[in-house]
Amino acid sequence: MAKRYWLLKSDPETFGWEDLERSPGRRTIWDGIRNPAARNHLRDDVQKGDEALFYHSGADKAVVGLATVTRAGFPEPGQEPWVAIEIEAGRKLPTPVTLAEIKADKSLAGMVLVKNSRLSVQPVTAEEWSIVTRLGASKSRAGR
């Protein structure tokens, strides 16, 4: 099965990028997802080896880092029918990519984040992944 790409949203006050970096082995169980559509992605689509954009929701609203799925969907302990995955921190982006920047980029107009920003687990195309990670790799961008 080909590698897929995802965007995982988290409120940084609840569990942010720095929390993931401090987790044992830089890994964590990604649980607490209660939206049925997001749960279905975790259960049916997310696979070990897939890559994820780590997105801070709340006031920050930005992609801040990259993570890898290290364990595919499994029953969330004590919370069936909900599903969890395990992720591992990759690298922090030198420059966060804000929701405003994503919405302003015409090549990202079809991104699920632009159309349905509330979904906490959402697919990302390989092209969207490439564009967002390239934007985040820039240490300084015009308009920042």
49: left (phi over 0), alpha (psi -120 to 50) or beta: left
The first and second tokens of residue 91, run together, are: 């690298």
pLDDT value for 142: 47
Residue 75: inside a domain, yes or no? Answer: yes
25: left (phi over 0), alpha (psi -120 to 50) or beta: left
Q: Which domain holds residue 81?
A: 5-137
Neighbouring-strand partners of residue 98 = 62
Domain containing residue 107: CATH number = 3.10.590.10
Residue 104: inside a domain, yes or no? Answer: yes
Q: What is the mean pLDDT of each run of 10 residues along the chain (144 residues)?
A: 93 96 97 94 97 94 98 93 96 96 96 92 97 86 47
Residue 113: inside a domain, yes or no? Answer: yes
Residue 142: inside a domain, yes or no? Answer: no
pLDDT value for 58: 87
Question: How many structural domains are present in the chain?
Answer: 1
pLDDT value for 143: 47
Residue 24: inside a domain, yes or no? Answer: yes
Residue 34: inside a domain, yes or no? Answer: yes
DSSP 8-state symbol, 120: S
Residue 144: inside a domain, yes or no? Answer: no
pLDDT value for 118: 86
The first and second tokens of residue 22, run together, are: 């401090």
Residue 65 to residue 111: CA distance in whole angstroms: 18
